[in-house]
């Protein structure tokens, strides 16, 4: 009997510890998210099933650098980080695996520069729609951002 009571107590303590750990995790997540601000998130969409380009400003208000390592969206098969460049009058772009944004830096994703490349639409999209995107960082932070679908002519 004494043994059983002990077991129950141990179980309660374990549960309480698990809850405290969860509370800590949630608090940490919120504190981190507040150090990043995204503004002017726009997804430029060409007609047909061509990739879309994502433009936005990412402001790191925190004390530490953050590293963007990817993005995902339920509306697309995959999302890549790209940078555009020009050689001999020809426009090129290539994929980056990460971008580091320093403390206090406002990093701009803009036409002819860095952008997110949204590959293979999995659902129809129209100008004016909102698209859910999650930005992923090297510290496991996930930042949800809503992109507004715009016409390339408006950029």
Contact 84, 91 (CB under 8 A): yes
Q: Which tokens is 87 given?
A: 């050689």
Residue among 93 and 110 whose Cβ is closer to Cu ion: 93
Site for Cu ion in 79-98 (CB under 5 A): 82, 93
Question: According to the binding rule CB under 5 A, does residue 149 interact with Cu ion?
Answer: no
The partner residues of 133 in beta bridges, in order of sequence, read 145
- Mode of pairing for the β-strands spanning 52-60 and 99-101: unpaired
| Least Cβ distance, residue 94 to Cu ion (angstroms) | 8
State yes or no: residue 114 binds Cu ion (CB under 5 A): no
Cα separation of 77 and 118, whole Å? 8
Alpha carbon distance 64, 37 (integer Å): 14
Q: Is 125 in the site for Cu ion (CB under 5 A)?
A: no
Q: Measured from the CB of residue 14, what is the shortest distance to Cu ion in angstroms? A: 49
- Smallest gap from Cβ 63 to Cu ion, in A, equals 32
Classify residue 57 as exposed, middle or buried by CB count within 10 Å of its CB (0-12, 13-18, 19+).
middle
Q: Looking at 14-22, 42-50, 114-122, 141-149, which segment touches Cu ion (CB under 5 A)?
A: 114-122
Residue number of the CB atom closest to Cu ion: 82
Residues forming the site for Cu ion (CB under 5 A): 82, 93, 117
């Amino acid at each position: 009997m004494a043994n059983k009571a002990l077991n129950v107590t141990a179980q309660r303590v374990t549960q309480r510890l698990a809850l405290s750990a969860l509370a800590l995790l949630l608090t940490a997540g919120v504190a981190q998210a507040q150090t990043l601000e995204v503004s002017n998130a726009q997804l430029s969409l060409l007609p047909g099933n061509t990739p879309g380009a994502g433009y936005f400003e990412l402001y790191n208000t925190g004390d530490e650098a953050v590293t963007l390592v990817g993005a995902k969206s339920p509306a697309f098969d995959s999302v890549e980080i790209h940078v555009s460049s020009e050689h001999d009058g020809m426009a090129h772009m290539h994929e980056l695996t990460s971008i580091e944004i320093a403390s206090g830096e406002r990093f701009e994703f803009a036409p002819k520069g860095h952008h997110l490349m949204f590959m293979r639409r999995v659902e129809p999209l129209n100008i004016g729609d909102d698209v859910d995107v999650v930005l992923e960082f090297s510290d496991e932070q996930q930042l949800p951002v809503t992109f507004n679908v715009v016409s390339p002519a408006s950029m």
